[in-house]
Amino acid sequence: MGCFSSKHKLPDPPSMPTTQPKQVQTQEVSMPQTRQPQQVQTQKVSVPEAQVPQTRQPQAVSVPLKPSPASTRPIQTMEDTVLGKPLEDIKQYYKLGKELGRGQFGITYLCTENSTGNSYACKSILKRKLRSKQDREDIKKEVQIMQHLSGQPCIVEFRGAYEDRQSVHLVMELCAGGELFDRIIAEGHYSERAAAGIFKSVVNVVHICHFMGVIHRDLKPENFLLSSKDAGAMLKATDFGLSVFIEEGKRYRDIVGSAYYVAPEILRRSYGKEVDIWSAGIILYILLSGVPPFWAETEKGIFDAISEGKLDFESQPWPLISETAKDLVRKMLTKDPKKRLTSAQVLEHPWMREDGEASDKPIGSAVLSRLKQFRAMNKLKKLALKVIAENLSEEEIKGLKVMFTNMDTDKSGTITYEELKKGLARLGSKLSEAEVKQLMEAADVDGNGTIDYIEFISATMNRYRLDRDELLYKAFQYFDKDNSGYITKDELETAMKEYGMGDEASIRAVISEVDTDNDGRINYEEFCTMMRSGTQQTEKAFLDTINSSIT
C-alpha cells in the first residue's frame, strides 16, 4: 500500500571532507521474451524505443506458486478468501522469525524456508484490517503483478502467497543491504559517474515494467533495496502495492504516489505510464543535488511547485554539474508527458552510457550530507505530539474524547482504518480514501495499524496549543531526562526505543535534521522550531473537520 509521504524542509548541511570516488558496480539487465510470469526466458537488453512492442493487458496470474493441502476446516466458497484459493498454513513451508518492520496493514518478518534453511522476507497482512472490497482487490493485484514480474534480476523475487484465517502472507526475496541512499552514504564519496551507475538500475526497472505492461506508480528511493551488504550488491525494486497493469488507451485518474515524486498529470487526474519517467527524474535530481526539486512545508505547497514545474539549476551544487546531466534531468521532468523521454531513450542518453559523459569528478560532501538529511524521518515530532497529548487537561480534550468513543464502534479501545473512514464521513469529511489512509499512517505512532486514544488526541488537538510554552516545555522535559537543557543522542534513543520507533541510524538522522547549530544535541529553541513547522494540507483538512464538529 502506498500513500503520500510527509517530508521536512532541509537545513543547510555541514561541510564534509571530499574524498576520491569509488567505482560503483552495476549489472546488465535481462529482458523477457514472454509475458508468462513463471520460468521467463530472457535476453540481453539494449533496445531503442522503436523495438519495444506495444504493451497489452497481461493474462491474470494464478496466485498460488506451490500447491498445498487446503485447510482442515473448509470454507463456504473461494469468494470468502482474499486470494481466491484454499486456506493453508504458511508454517508448513516457512518458520517466521524476528520482526523487520510494520505498516498500516501488517508486519514484515524474517522467515526461514523449512526445506532449505534459506532466509526470506514475509509480509503478513491482517485480514481484519482489509475492511473494504478495494483493500482485498489491491492485495490480490499486488500478488498478481509481483508474480508477473518475477524472474527479473532488478526486481525483488516473489516466492509465494499464502492465506490462513487471520492473515495473507507474501513471501519474497530478503534484501538486507538497505535502501538506495544507503549505498551512497556508506561509500562516503560520490561522483556523476557513480550516480549514473546507480540511476541506470532505477531506469532499468522502469524499462522492464513498461515492457511487461506494468506502471509502478510509486517510484521513490525507499522502494529500491540492495540485495545484500556486499559492495557489488544489486539494487532491486520493491513495493508494487500501487502498481497497475497497462490497458491500452486507458487514462488513469486516481491520485497515488508519494508527494515529492508525483507527476503533474497525476494532479490533473489523467495520466499513463509516463508518470514513472517523471518519478525517476525526481530521483535523479536528488541523486545529483541531495534535495528534491519541488518541496514545501505542506503537500499543497509541493503540488503547487510541481504544477509550476520550475527547476532550480542555479543553487549549489548545480554550477558544478555537467550540462549533459542537466539535459537529462530537464528531458525527464518535462511537464508535457508526450514530450518526456521514454525509458529506452533515457538508457541511450549520452550521460547514461557506460562510455558516456558522466564525470568522475567528485560532486562534493554537501550532497552526501543533504542525502542523509533527506532520508531521515522526523519521528521525534510525532512522538513529542503524543507526549503533549498526554499532558492536556480533561476540559481541553472533552469533545475529542466523545468523538473517539463514537468512532470506536466495536469498543475495542482503538480505531481501525474502516472506523476512521466511516467516522469522518459521518462528520461530513470530504477526504478521499487515499487521504484517510495517509492520516491513519500519520496518527499511528507505534505502527500497529490502529489508533489508540492518546494517538487520536495527539493527531487531532488544535495546533494553537503548540504555541503554549508550558506544553512544549513539558514535552521537551520528557526527552531531557537529566534536565541539562539539551536532548542528547542517548536520551532520544531511550525515548524512541520505548515506543519501538527507531534504530541507531534513524536516531542519528533525527538529531542531524533538527540540530541546526550542529553541536550534536537538540536545544529547546531547536525543539520548538521543529514542533511549530508546517502542517500537511491533508492533516489540515482533517483538523478542520474535527474542530468544526466540536465547536
pLDDT, mean over the chain: 76
Chosen domain end from 355, 375, 395 = 375
Residues 329, 182 share a domain: yes
Beta-strand runs (E) in 127-257: 158-163, 167-173, 214-215, 224-226, 235-237, 244-245
Q: Who wins on pLDDT, 178 or 325? A: 325
Domain boundaries, position 320: 178-375
Task: Name the percent of the chain lying above pLDDT 70.
Answer: 68
Among 359, 375, 391, residue at a domain's last position: 375
When pLDDT is averaged across residues 320-337 and rounded to a whole number, the result is: 96
Do 398 and 366 belong to one domain?
no
Is residue 129 a part of any domain in this protein?
no
Is the domain of 390 the same as that of 362? no
What number is the average pLDDT over the span 316-328? 92
Number of Cβ within 10 Å of residue 137's Cβ equals 12
Domain membership of residue 191 (yes or no) is: yes
Count: domains in the chain: 2
Please report which confidence band the pLDDT of residue 509 belongs to, taking 50, 70 and 90 as the band edges: low
pTM: 0.61
Among 156, 152, 175, residue whose Cα is nearest residue 229: 175
> Is the bond preceding 153 in cis, omega lying within 30 degrees of 0?
no
> What does the block give as the cell for 105?
496493514
Answer whether residue 5 shows pLDDT above 90: no
366 and 385 fall within a common domain: no
| Residue 203 and residue 125 in contact, taking contact as beta carbons nearer than 8 Å | no
Question: Is 545 a residue whose pLDDT tops 70?
Answer: no
Note the pLDDT tens digit of each residue in 431-450.
677 667 767 776 776 667 78
| Cell digits of residue 38 | 513463471
127 annotated among ligand-binding-site residues: yes
Q: What percent of the chain has pLDDT over 90?
A: 33
Q: What is the pLDDT of residue 100?
A: 83
Q: Do 201 and 255 lie in a common domain?
A: yes
pLDDT at 495: 77
Secondary structure class of 387 (helix, strand, coil): helix
Q: Does 75 map to a domain?
A: no
From 254, 262, 274, select the one nearest 306 (Cα to Cα).
262
pLDDT digits (tens, 9 = 90+) for 363-391: 766 676 666 656 544 456 667 776 776 66
Looking at 324, 354, 375, the residue that finishes a domain is 375
**CATH code for position 509:** 1.10.238.10
**What residues contact 533, with CB distance under 8 A and at least 6 apart?**
8, 9, 297, 381
Average pLDDT over residues 45-63: 40
Residue range 184-189: average pLDDT?
A: 69
Same domain as 361, residue 253: yes
Specify whether 328 is located in the same domain as 462: no
- Whether residue 87 lies inside any domain: the answer is no
In a domain, 242, yes or no: yes
Q: Are residues 331 and 203 in the same domain?
A: yes
What pLDDT, in 10s, does the model give residues 65-92?
444 443 344 444 556 789 988 999 999 9
- Does one domain contain both 454 and 391? yes
Same domain, yes or no: 371 and 388 = no
Same domain, 211 and 298: yes
DSSP string for 417-450: HHHHHHHHHHTT----HHHHHHHHHHH-TT-SSS
pLDDT confidence bin for 120, thresholds 50/70/90: very high
How deeply is 82 buried, as exposed, middle or buried, from its count of CB atoms within 10 A (0-12, 13-18, 19+)? buried
485-495 pLDDT per residue, tens: 998 888 887 77
- In the structure grid, which three cell numbers stand for residue 526, read together? 531547536
Give the per-residue pLDDT at 11: 35
CATH number at residue 304: 1.10.510.10
pLDDT at 1 over 60: no
When comparing pLDDT for 512 and 166, which is higher?
166
Catalytic residues: 218
User: Does 322 fall in a domain?
Assistant: yes
pLDDT of 499 > 80? The answer is: no
Instruction: Specify if 453 maps to a domain.
Output: yes
For residue range 210-265, what is the model confidence (pLDDT) as tens digits?
Answer: 999 999 999 998 899 999 888 788 999 988 989 999 998 899 999 888 889 999 99
Most confident of 193-197, 254-258, 334-338: 334-338
> Domain for residue 171, yes or no?
no
Name, in order, each residue with C-beta under 8 angstroms of 321's C-beta and a sequence gap of 6 or more: 192, 288, 289, 313, 363
- Mark whether 229 and 344 lie in a shared domain: yes
Question: Measuring CA to CA, how many Å separate 326 from each of 61, 288, 374?
Answer: 41, 9, 21
